[in-house]
Structure 1
Amino acid sequence: MEYRRRVIDGVLDDLFGALAAIALEGAKGVGKTATATQRAATVLTLTDPRQREVVEADPDLVVTAPPPVLVDEWQLVPPVWDRIRHAVDDDATGSRYLLTGSAGPAPGIRIHSGAGRIVSLPMRPLAWSERGITDPTVSLRVLLAGGSATVEGPSPVDLATYTDEILRSGFPGIRDLPPRARQVQLDSYVARIVDRELPESGVAVRRPRALRAWLSAYGAATATDAAWSTILDAATAGDDDKPARQTVDTYREHLERIFVLDPLPAWTPTFAPLRRLTRTPKHHLVDPAIAARLVGVGADGLLRGDGTRVATQTGTWLGALFESLVTQSVRVYATAADAHVGHLRTKGTDHEVDLVVEGADRRVVAIEVKLAATVSDNDVRHLHWLGEQLGDRVADRVVVTTGPYAYRRPDGIAVVPLALLGP
C-alpha cells in the first residue's frame, strides 16, 4: 500500500536533519511506524520477540546499527531511551534516531526525560486534510500570523459525508475496511485495551466489564468537561457496587499513558486580564469513531439526533462527535505550526470558546465549532468577547462549520468548513 504523506512529515522534514533523535508518540494504529519507516535505514521492531531479545541483551545495537535507526515501540525495552540519550550527548549529528512509542514506560520504571536530547512529537489519527477527500484552502498557520488571511473556497462535503468520516475513523488501517469489518475492528481495539494493553502495562483489571462501562460513559462525555464523578455515576447507574475512586483514577491515568484518552486542556493565558477561568479539561478519546462505537449509534441515528450524552450541554451527540473530529484535526495542524490548543470557559459558563490555538508568539486563533451550514450573530458572541478582552493578541477568530463555503463575515470573523481547513 502506497504511503500517504502526513502533516507530521513536514515537521520531520524541518527538524530531523538538525536533531539527532526524535520520538513519535501516540496510540497504537495511528501510523507512527509507517511514517518513521520512510526515513529509516535500520528498523528494530521491539514487538518482535526475537529482535527484542537481541536488543535487551545488547542495547548498544541501537547506536551501532547504520543510521537513521528506528526503534519501534521503544518502551518495551526502556534502557533503549537512556542509551540513545547518552549517544546524543556524545554526538548530536542530525538524522540519527527515530523512536516510536504507544505508551510511556511501565509503572515503576524511571527514565530520564530526554530533555535537550530526544524531542517528542505527538502523532494522532488522520486529520481531515490527510484523508484525501478535499484540498484545504485555509491554513491554520496563516491564520495564526494574523493580517486577515484570505478565506475563500467552495466545499463539496455535506453533513452525511462528515458523519460517515466520523464513523470511518482516522486510523489508517481501519478506515478503508467495509462497514461491518470496520465495526469489528473498532470493537477489537477497545477489547485489546481492556484485555491486553492495560494488563501488559502492569494494571490489574479485576472488573473488565466495569472498565468497559466506564469507557463508554467517558465516550458519551465527549466534548464536555463533565466531572469525573458524573462519568462514574453514568457508568454504574443502578449498580450499588461502584469501583473505588482510586481504581478509576488508576485506569484513567494509564489510559492517558497509552494515548487512548486525549483530553483537551483548559487554556490559561499568560499576562492577560482574563479571570475566573475553569481548569477542567474537555474529554476526548483518541478518535471520535471509538466514542461513536462505544455509544452505539450509526449514521442514520446520528443524523436523526440520536445518542446518549453524559452531562448534556447544548447540541446533539453528532455535534459533540463533530467537535471532537475538528479538535483532533486542529491539534494535528497546531503541531505543524509549533502551537498549542486548549479550550476556554469561564466559571458559570458566561463565556466559552471551543478551541484556542496559541502560537509561539502567544497570539491566538479562537475557534468555535458549529454543526450547521449557517452562522448567526449569536454564534459568534464569545469570539467577539474574547477579542475585546485580548485585543491584538487575537490573531483571528473562526467558526468551523459543515457549510458549503469559506468566507469572512462583515464583522471580520472567518467562517470555514472543516473540509477546507488545513495546516
Structure 2
Amino acid sequence: MPHANLKPDGYLPRIVDEQVAHYLRVFGAVEVAGAKWCGKTWTALAHGSSVSYVENDLGIAKEDPSLMLLGERPHVVDEWQLAPSIWDAVRHGVDAQRGLRGGWILTGSSTPVSRGGGEDAPKHSGAGRIGRVRMLPMSLAESGESACTVSLACLFEGEFTSSKVPSDTLELVRLACRGGWPEGIDLDAEDAQLLARDYLRLLFSESVPRHGKDGRAARKLVASLARNLGQSPTYKTILADMYGEEDEPGALMSEVTLASYLDLLNRLYLTEEVEGWVPPRRSRKRLSVKPKRYFADPSLAVATLGMSPQSLLDDWQTFGLVFENLCMRDLMVYARALPLAGDVPVRYYRDDAGLEADAIVELADGRWAAFEFKVGESKVGEGVASLKRLRKKVSENPKARTSPPEFLAVIAGVSEYARKVEDGVYVIPLRALCA
C-alpha cells in the first residue's frame, strides 16, 4: 500500500487511526463516518494518497460516480453520500480486483435515506468489501486534557495503577461546553459554543430539509432530547415537549413520523442511541429495552439548552446530565478502540426494580464491565454501592447464566485520585481515562 502523503499540517492523532490502518489491511475499502466537523476528512487524508471532493464536483459525481474513484490508492472520496451511487461503484471496484486491500477511504456525515430504497441509493450493503469506522468528536484523551493514566483496555486485562490528575470544577464545565470539535479545542468555551450553535443552525436549515424533513420540527425535537438528555422518554413525552397541550390534535406529529425524525437524527450522526443491556446475552428482553439518547458531543446539548459555563455552574443538576453526555462520548471512543469491541460495545442497564448502571461495556467474547457516572466525590460511594448490587444480582443469580464483570468503575468529574476501592472496583476521574 502506498505511503500516505496527504496528512494535513497540524494533524492531531486520533484514536481511530489504528482502526483505519487495520481496516485498510483487511478490506477493499473503508468508510469513516460521523458528525460533521468531527475530523473525518483529516483522518482520511492522514491515511490516503489522493483525494476527490464530491461536493466540488457533484454534477460529475452523479453523472459518472466511477470518476470519483480515480487516483493513487488509498484514494479518499470525501462526503460520498452526496452522490450515493459512489458506494456501489466502490463495491464493484473492490469486486473487480481479487485480493484488493485498502483501495478507497470514504468519508460521510450522513447515511443515504435507505440503502436500495431510492433511484440512486446504494443497492448493496458493502458487507465484506467496505469496512466501517465510526468517529466522534475528540475525546479528552485526544485533545490532551486527560492524563491517560488509566487505560480501558488495561482494565480488561486486570492492570491498574493509582494516579493523581488535575481536578478543577470550572475547567470540567468549560470542557463540556467547548466540546471536542478539532477546530474548537484552542478556543475558550464561549467562542467554541458559536461552533456548536452554527452546527445546529446548518443542521436545521440545510441537512434536515435535504432529507425531506421540516427543520422547525427537528429543532423542537432536538430541544426535547436536550431536556431529556441521557433518558429514554416515550414518544408521548417527546411529542408533549414539542407541541404542548394547547395545540390542535391534528397539528401533532404522529408517532410514525416522530420515529422517522429520530432515525434521521441518528443518520446525521447528531444523536447517539445507547441500547439497553439485559443478561443473559441471548435474552429476548434485551431487544425490548428502550434506548437512551445522547448527543454526539456535549457542547450540542449545552447549545440547544441555551446555557453557558456560568449558568451550568448555577444549575448543577443540569450539568450532571451534560457531564453524563461527556462521559458517554469518551467511553464510546475508548470502547470502540478495544481489540474485541463488539458491534454495540456500549449499552446501559436498568431493570424493573430500578437498579441501574449508566454504561455497560461488553466485548465480543462476552466479558463485560459496568460504569456509573458521578460529577463529584460526594456521590462516588453511592455509585460504588449501586454497581456492587448490580454485580450481585446479575452474577449470583443462577438463572441469569452471566459471568461476573471483569471490573466495576465509577467515572468521576471533580475528582483527583484514580484508585482501587477493592478488588475489581475502581474510582476513575474522567480526566485520567483513555483507550
Q: CA–CA distance in 1 between the matches of 2:231 and 2:96?
A: 47
SS of 2:193 mapped into structure 1? helix
Is the CA contact 1:408–1:415 (under 8 Å) kept in the aligned structure 2? yes
Where does residue 150 of structure 2 map in the other structure?
138
How much has 1:341 moved relative to structure 2?
A: 0.4
Where does residue 234 of structure 2 map in the other structure?
227
Q: Deviations over 1:157-177 (max 9, x none)?
A: 322211100100111123434
Where does residue 89 of structure 1 map in the other structure?
95
Matched, 1:193 2:193: no
Is the CA contact 1:278–1:347 (under 8 Å) kept in the aligned structure 2? no
Where does residue 83 of structure 2 map in the other structure?
77
Is the CA contact 1:276–1:347 (under 8 Å) kept in the aligned structure 2? no
How much has 1:220 moved relative to structure 2?
A: 1.4
One-letter identity of the residue aligned with 2:146 = T
Where does residue 317 of structure 1 map in the other structure?
318
How much has 1:323 moved relative to structure 2?
A: 0.8
Where does residue 100 of structure 1 map in the other structure?
107
TM-score by length of 2: 0.87
TM-score by length of 1: 0.90
Q: CA–CA distance in 2 between the matches of 1:223 and 1:178?
A: 26
| Map 1:14-413 → 2, pairs under 5 A | 14-48=22-56, 51-91=57-97, 92-107=99-114, 108-109=117-118, 110-111=121-122, 112-145=124-157, 147=158, 149-201=159-211, 203-205=212-214, 208-241=215-248, 242-245=251-254, 246-271=256-281, 279-305=289-315, 316-337=317-338, 338-339=340-341, 340-349=345-354, 351-374=355-378, 376-388=380-392, 389-390=394-395, 392-402=403-413, 403-410=415-422, 412-413=424-425
How much has 1:251 moved relative to structure 2?
A: 1.7
One-letter identity of the residue aligned with 1:17 = R
Q: Deviations over 1:319-349 (max 9, x none)?
A: 1111111101111111110420000100242
How much has 1:198 moved relative to structure 2?
A: 1.1
How much has 1:233 moved relative to structure 2?
A: 1.1
SS of 2:382 mapped into structure 1? helix
Q: CA–CA distance in 1 between the matches of 2:46 and 2:25?
A: 14
Q: CA–CA distance in 2 between the matches of 1:277 and 1:88?
A: 34
SS of 1:230 mapped into structure 2? helix
Q: Deviations over 1:185-239 (max 9, x none)?
A: 32221111111101112x131xx44432221111111111122221221232354
In 2 relative to 1, CA 140–229 (structure 1 residues): closer, same or farther, beyond 3 Å?
Answer: same
* Structure with the bigger percentage of strand: 2
Q: CA–CA distance in 1 between the matches of 2:62 and 2:144?
A: 40
Q: CA–CA distance in 1 between the matches of 2:52 and 2:106?
A: 10
One-letter identity of the residue aligned with 1:300 = Q
One-letter identity of the residue aligned with 2:223 = S
Q: CA–CA distance in 2 between the matches of 1:277 and 1:56?
A: 39
One-letter identity of the residue aligned with 1:34 = W
One-letter identity of the residue aligned with 1:329 = D
Q: CA–CA distance in 2 between the matches of 1:229 and 1:153?
A: 46
Q: CA–CA distance in 1 between the matches of 2:403 and 2:106?
A: 40
Pairwise CA RMSD of aligned residues? 2.2
Q: CA–CA distance in 1 between the matches of 2:253 and 2:283?
A: 40
Aligned length: 406
SS of 1:129 mapped into structure 2? coil
Q: CA–CA distance in 2 between the matches of 1:67 and 1:275?
A: 46
Q: Which one is further off, 12-21 or 1-10?
A: 12-21
How much has 1:64 moved relative to structure 2?
A: 4.0
SS of 1:290 mapped into structure 2? helix
One-letter identity of the residue aligned with 1:347 = D
Q: Which one is further off, 99-108 or 378-387?
A: 378-387
Q: CA–CA distance in 1 between the matches of 2:385 and 2:125?
A: 42
How much has 1:52 moved relative to structure 2?
A: 2.4
How much has 1:135 moved relative to structure 2?
A: 2.4
Where does residue 399 of structure 2 map in the other structure?
none
Is the CA contact 1:144–1:359 (under 8 Å) kept in the aligned structure 2? no
Q: Deviations over 1:25-62 (max 9, x none)?
A: 111111100100111111111111xx223333333334
Q: Deviations over 1:357-404 (max 9, x none)?
A: 001211001111111125554322332133222364411111100210
Higher relative contact order (Cα pairs below 8 Å, separated by 6+ residues) = 1
SS of 1:344 mapped into structure 2? strand
SS of 1:17 mapped into structure 2? helix
SS of 1:16 mapped into structure 2? helix
Structure 2: gaps spanning 5 or more residues: 1-8, 396-401
One-letter identity of the residue aligned with 2:292 = K
SS of 1:320 mapped into structure 2? helix
SS of 2:352 mapped into structure 1? coil
How much has 1:85 moved relative to structure 2?
A: 0.9
One-letter identity of the residue aligned with 2:350 = R
Structure 1: gaps spanning 5 or more residues: 307-315
In 2 relative to 1, CA 265–276 (structure 1 residues): closer, same or farther, beyond 3 Å?
Answer: closer
Q: CA–CA distance in 1 between the matches of 2:288 and 2:163?
A: 36
Identity of aligned residues (%): 29
